[in-house]
């Protein structure tokens, strides 16, 4: 816009000079400049006519580490070529979606894909596709937005936990893990298509009539303990920034533990209080995983509710035989008693403690800054050891999570780990 105004101002000065001097050569260049300006204006105004454009995303739900693909299509039905078309999609993604400049011959189309790595969890917005064109001199331009835009929800990575095992249910004779088996039990969980070798007494005739093919019943061998995860989002206890912040390890640990429970056919619930309270009742299956990962995708340390209060309010939502798992970086010992008190209600308590000192130290090292002063680090380390000792006194099994080791190596159930709480 400023370039156009400057050019027009220059033309105006030239016209004024021509009128004052009366030179024929000056009038020639003035007329030539007016013709060029007129053609540039028409080229810019007509640059987006007879043009069809569209873009779409290959997914709206993804996981950290996936690649988002945005496909663009431009189609020209004009009689004249379009020598310069710039396209891009503004977004709030951590990595910008690359744009492209193309040209189109008459009655042709172009389709291409732009790929963006998804490096961080969260909810992002991909705005409408923007198509821009102009004249060769850069005096005028035309811009159009195509489409309504879309939202992309990026889930945290669910890290494998090969050495992790939750307690069994409080029901006598319960198995250590839920699984489908060939034996008939009272626990019918689902139906599936008939395969050769299935017993005829397992056919579910109503489902077969509805699906117009034979369906057989699936049974759980034994009931297992539900898992209820309490995620501490109190801003007062979180520390660090970026990838080494305690909130990131808190979310990663909660995602891994919940994902492991769902993969083990357990009912998993979750509760957290950030800007608002979020409660996901216990359930199983892929739909429940989407709910939990959707909550964790946008979780931030924005709350003001202490973990002790969160545990006391959540007690009424848990039944006997449930495993209560608190994921927190809090070194405040006030939450230990409410967590340990759940044992009296037949609920097995477990603590997953995010080491705040180790996370802050890792963040400083990654930024190339000086490490924590011993006068600041040592009192915090003493608080951490005191908290672990108090948890051990209350017979609450504790896992300490640090940023320099994978969760699979740190979340390992030992032989002396938590056992089932009998009713």
Domains in the chain: boundaries: 51-155, 180-220, 227-410
* 11 has pLDDT over 70: no
Helical packing angle, 356-366 and 246-263, nearest 10°: 120
227-410 has the same fold as 51-155: no
Question: Which has the minimum average pLDDT: 179-188, 228-237, 291-300, 303-312?
Answer: 179-188
What is the CATH number assigned to the segment(s) 51-155? 2.60.40.10
pLDDT digits (tens, 9 = 90+) for 104-134: 999 999 999 999 999 999 999 999 999 999 8
- What whole-number percentage of the chain has pLDDT above 70? 84
Q: Tens digit of pLDDT for each residue in 340-394?
A: 999 998 899 999 999 999 999 999 998 888 888 989 899 999 999 999 999 999 9
Residue 230: predicted pLDDT:
97
- The topology (CATH level 3) of 227-410 is Rossmann fold (3.40.50)
Query: Rounded distance, CA 107 to CA 79, Å?
Result: 7
Residues 305-330: what's their mean pLDDT? 92
The answer to whether 257 and 164 have CB atoms below 8 angstroms apart is: yes
pLDDT exceeds 50 at position 176: no
Task: Give the separation between CA 121 and CA 248, rounded to whole angstroms.
Answer: 9
């Amino acid at each position: 816009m400023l370039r156009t105004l400057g050019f027009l101002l220059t033309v105006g000065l030239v016209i004024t000079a021509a009128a004052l001097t009366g030179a024929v050569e000056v009038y020639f260049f003035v007329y030539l400049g007016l013709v060029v300006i007129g053609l540039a204006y028409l080229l810019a105004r007509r640059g987006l006519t007879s043009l069809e454009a569209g873009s779409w995303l290959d997914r709206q739900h993804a996981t950290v580490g996936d690649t988002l693909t945005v496909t663009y299509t431009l189609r020209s039905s004009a009689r004249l070529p379009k020598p310069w078309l710039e396209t891009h999609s503004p977004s709030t993604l951590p990595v910008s979606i690359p744009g492209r400049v193309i040209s189109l011959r008459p009655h042709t189309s172009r389709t291409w894909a732009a790929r963006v790595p998804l490096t961080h969890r969260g909810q992002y917005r991909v705005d409408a596709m923007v198509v821009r064109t102009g004249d060769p001199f850069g005096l005028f331009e035309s811009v159009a937005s195509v489409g309504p835009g879309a939202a992309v929800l990026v889930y945290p990575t669910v890290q494998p936990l090969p050495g992790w095992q939750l307690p069994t249910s409080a029901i006598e004779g319960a198995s250590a893990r839920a699984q489908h088996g060939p034996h008939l039990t009272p626990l019918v969980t689902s139906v599936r298509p008939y395969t050769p070798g299935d017993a005829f007494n397992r056919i579910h005739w109503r489902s077969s009539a509805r699906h117009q093919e034979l369906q057989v019943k699936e049974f759980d061998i034994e009931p297992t303990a539900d898992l209820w995860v309490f995620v501490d989002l109190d801003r007062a206890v979180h520390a660090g920034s970026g990838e080494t912040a305690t909130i990131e390890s808190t979310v990663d640990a909660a995602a891994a533990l919940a994902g492991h429970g769902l993969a083990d056919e357990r009912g998993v619930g979750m509760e957290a209080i950030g800007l608002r309270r979020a409660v996901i009742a216990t359930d199983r299956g892929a739909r429940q995983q989407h709910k939990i990962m959707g909550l964790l995708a946008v979780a931030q340390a924005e709350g003001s509710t202490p973990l002790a209060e969160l545990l006391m309010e959540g007690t009424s939502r848990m039944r006997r035989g449930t495993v209560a798992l608190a994921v927190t970086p809090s070194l405040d010992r006030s939450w230990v008693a409410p967590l340990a008190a759940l044992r009296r209600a037949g609920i097995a308590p477990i603590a997953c403690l995010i080491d705040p000192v180790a996370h802050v130290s890792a963040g400083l090292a990654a930024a190339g800054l000086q490490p924590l002063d011993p006068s600041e680090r040592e009192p915090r380390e003493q608080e951490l050891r005191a908290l672990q000792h108090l948890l051990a006194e209350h017979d609450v099994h504790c896992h300490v999570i640090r940023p320099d080791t994978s969760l699979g190596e740190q979340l390992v159930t030992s032989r002396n780990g938590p056992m089932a709480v009998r009713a």
